Each structure stands twice: as structure tokens, then as C-alpha cells.
Amino acid sequence: MAQTLYINPSTGSDSNAGTESAPFKTIAHALGQASSDPDTEIRLSAGNYNADSGESFPLDVPSGVKIIGNEGNKGSDILIEGSGQYTSPTQSRQSVALRLNSDTELRGVSVTNGERRGTAVWIESANPTVINCTFTKSNREGIFAAGSSKPKILNNQFIENNGQGISITRNSAGEIRGNTCKKGGAGIVIDGEAIPQVIGNECSENRYGIQISQDAKPVLRKNRIENNSEEGISLTGKALPDLGSSDDPGGNILNNNGKLDIGNYTKNKLLSVGNSLNASKVKGEIEIKGGSTPTPDTKTPDTGTPDTKTPDTDTPDAKTPDTKTPDTDTPDAKTPDTTPTLSDIQGHWAERFIQGLIDKGMISGFPDGTFKPEDKMTRAQYAALLVKAFNPPAKRNAPKFTDVASDFWAKQVIEKAYRGQFLSGYPGNIFRPNDNVQRVQVTVSLVNGLGLSATDANALGLYEDRNAIPNYAKDAVVTATKKQMVVNYPNLKRLRPTNDATRAEVAAMVYQALADSGEVNRVNSNYIVVA
């Protein structure tokens, strides 16, 4: 039977019932209670969780248990700090703060381990999810995945760890997506025979951006690797990463790394397709196809909340951009001659939303007849959909985004979506076109672009995870809720605001925005939130 346990290190007591009004004091005690119930959620209040507050390390999280803090600020006010001995069957004795088992989740906390060779989170032949957390100032790394692990490490911050942000080794795979790894010895280290998917991460201001060694064969896509003092990507042993193909370009940006963008010290010939790097800063055998040479920029972009201000109201050139999409991982957005039947949306919870947009010619599938509803959507792809769906008039000038090349396929739609106030950039004229768009960003985008407003003092109370909604987005969430634009699958009460949006989720929210304006007929769905 599922249970939720509450922890407060300041006011709680382990003799309490573990309820919201009578919380436990320690995570360790809650984990003992959760060991017999794999569906337990442990919710942490703000505070420090360490030996002084009664914690006993390492904290061993049983399979299926979720530890949840504050995803909205990536756990900046919830610090787990400590170390204990763990004997790994593949890596011998280790100094570890937390150990995650299969099907566990760690969300919205900060973790640090200052002991010699200290690791914040250890994963051993398991498949946990770590999302929207902060790992900082550990003496070795933030996360170590060993054995045959298949973790999902999503949208976390790894800052100022003495070794590296993430290490993944042995036969591990899994997904490393959307993380920021800065000011460490290396951003990400991959060795053994590991084959993780490494997608949309930022590795900057380290000594090395990504180090790959031994027989590792990771897949690298849409990562931003820049301003590292030694090398962007360093390859040794028999390492052979996948840096793109003609059918699936790499989309990695390597820029302004101190010595080399890529140092290939193996005997393997490396193929780079569709990556942005400086050919003069490459060492070793490597064939470069496609991509462009970036303009060096020594500034590190701000990684905070997108700037949603409207800077000016001058009238720009508002001609309709060419929306063709040459990149083969983005579906063709042209209006179909006949309404297609896509093989993977029949019976899907979002089928009616997706099919409604297809019928209007606003979105389409891939050449193989699929829609890929559970894939994530990048900010560039989202810009293309916005322009197709709303054709927004210009309300302000668009800046020259430094990370959107003049020949980038989505340059014009990005500018048009910006001019229409549907999208904004980050400080320093950064857009991050290859970052995944978050659910809350879609909500804010639609409300701002359509100029909507509504009030309801009780609207946010519908969501169990309302504390994870960023402050800048709360008014927009209220408006979208009142307009029935919020679609939450599978749990109406879980907004999951900072999760990356899937293609299905984006389609549902865009469809509901069109329904609110009378552009399409409303559909019945059990997942539309009604205030």
C-alpha cells in the first residue's frame, strides 16, 4: 500500500507518525519504515540533513522508494551532506552519501560528500531516476554509476565537484540528459564498456568537458561543451563515441575550449557529423562532416530562468519564415495532402489532441509513419510548432541569438516566436535551441504569446507539487488552469512543472490553447484539469 512520509530535520521527531503535521526527523528512519513498502514517497522539508541532525550514512534507498524535495529550485534549500562506507561488488570500498537501488527516484535535493574520494550518489547495477537535483563540492563526483546500471540522470546541476560531475562505467547504459556540469575536473567521465545516451547537457568551465576511455561507446547528441580549460572531448584507450551520422546528426556544440575541442588519442577513426566545432582545434584521426565553426565566446551563459521581459516594441520585419526542417530527427511540418494514420498514437492518451493538430496541418509524423509521442521536444522544434499553430504577429524586435547560427534550420521560426512574445531567451542573448522545453515553459509560453489572463486564488491548490512551480510561472499556471489548457497524464494532481515536455504533452497543451480561442473543437479527456 502506497504511503507518504514527511521529514523535517528541525521540528520533526522519529517518534512521530511521519505525517505532514507530525513529521519524522531523519531520512534514515523513514527509509527503515519504507523498506516494507516499495511505493513509499519520502517528502523533505527545507533544511540540512547530516550527522548532526541524526542521519546515518550511507543512506540506502530501497527499490521503488522516492525521495522528493523541491524540484523548482533544484533542491537549493534541502542539503543532504554526509558519508559512509559502501563495498561495491565491482569497485571495492567506497565513501558514499546515498545509494540508489532500482526504480528509486531522487528529486529536488542537494547532495554533497566532502570526505576524501567522496561520492554523493552511488548507483550499482540499478535503474533509478535522478532529476532536478544539485550536486556540489563533493571530493570526487556527484553521481557514480557502476556495474550494469541504466540510470536516468535528468536536468541536474553538478557544480564544483573536485573530480567530475558524473562517472559512468563497466557495462552501464542509461540516459544522461539536460544536465549542467561546471567547474570540476571533468563534466562527465565514461569508461569501461559503457554505452549511455548523453543528450543536451552543458559541460563548461571544467578542465575537461567529457572524458571517454577504455571501450566505452556512448552516444553524444546536442551537448554544449565549451570554455573548458584543457579539452572539450578527450578520447583514450579504444573509446569510440557516436558523434552523429547522416541520418542522425550529432548536433553537439564544441566551442572555445582551451587546448582542443576534440583530442582523439585512440587508434580509432572518429566520425563527426553535424557538430559545431573548430577543425583547427582537433587532434588525432577524425573525419568531420557538416557543422560549422562557432565564433569563440569566452562568456559562460547564465543558466537561470529564461528572461520573460519584453525589451522593446519596435516593429521588425514580420515576413513569414520558411519552416522546412532539414534535420531528420524533426518531423516534416508541411501540410499533408491527406490525413495520415500514425502507427504509434492509436489508443494513446493524447491521440485526440495529436490527431486534431495533424488534421489542421499544424504537426505531422516522421517518415517511418510514427509520431514518437513520448520523445522530448526541443525549444527549436517547439518554436516551429508555435509558428505553424498561431502565426504570431510581431510585437517586438528579436535579438541576434549567439547560439543560433545563420544557417540553423529553425533560425527564422525562433525569431518569429520571439517577436510574437511566445518565447524568450536567456541573459546574454542565448536561446539554447537544442535544450528540451519544460512543461512549465510551454504553459508560460502559451499564456504570454496569446496575452491571456485569469485569476483564481485556489487554482494552484489543485496540484500536489505546487511548491515545485517556479515563482515566475505561477500566474501563468493559474491562467492556464482556468482556461483548461493544463493536461496532466497520468495524475491530474501532478503538474510536474520542471519535467521535460514530451511531444504528446506539447501537442495536448497547444491543442487546448487553440480550443480556448475557438480555433478547434474541444475534446473530451480525463486528463484536462478543470478548476
- Compute the distance between CA of residue 506 and CA of residue 225 in angstroms, rounded to an integer: 28
Profile the chain (531 residues) by mean pLDDT over runs of 10 residues.
Answer: 90 96 97 88 97 97 96 95 95 94 97 94 97 96 97 97 95 96 95 96 96 95 95 94 94 94 94 93 92 42 34 31 34 38 85 90 82 91 93 92 89 95 90 93 96 91 93 94 95 94 95 91 91 86
Under DSSP, the state recorded for 479 is H
Query: Which residue bears the cell 556540469?
Result: 181
| H or E element in which residue 159 lies | strand 157-159
pLDDT at site 393: 92
Length of the chain: 531
CA–CA distance, 74 with 132 (Å, rounded to integer): 5
Place of cell 559512468: 168
- Residue 322 burial by Cβ neighbours in a 10 Å radius (0-12, 13-18, 19+): exposed
Domain residue spans of the chain: 351-516
pLDDT attached to residue 291: 64
What is the rounded distance in angstroms from the CA atom of residue 34 to the CA atom of residue 57?
16
Residue 357 to residue 348: CA distance in whole angstroms: 15
Rg (CA), the chain: 23
pTM for this model (two decimals): 0.58
What is the rounded end-to-end Cα distance, in angstroms, of the chain?
Answer: 29
Q: Which cell numbers hold the place of 396?
A: 517586438
Secondary structure of residue 459 in the 3-state scheme: helix
Task: Determine the pLDDT at residue 304.
Answer: 35
What pLDDT score was predicted for residue 493?
A: 94
**Residue 319 pLDDT:** 31
Q: Is 440 helix (H, G, I), strand (E, B) or coil?
A: helix
3-state SS class at 516: helix
Q: What is the pLDDT of residue 519?
A: 86
Written as one string, the DSSP assignment of 378-391 is BHHHHHHHHHHHH-
| Chain center to CA of 466 | 19
Strands (E) located in 36-100 = 41-44, 47-49, 59-61, 66-68, 78-81, 84-88, 92-100
Q: What is the pLDDT of residue 341?
A: 60
The reported pLDDT for the residue numbered 326 is: 32
Tell me how far apart the alpha carbons of residues 21 and 11 are, in angstroms, rounded to a whole number. 10
Cis peptide before 392 (omega within 30 of 0): no
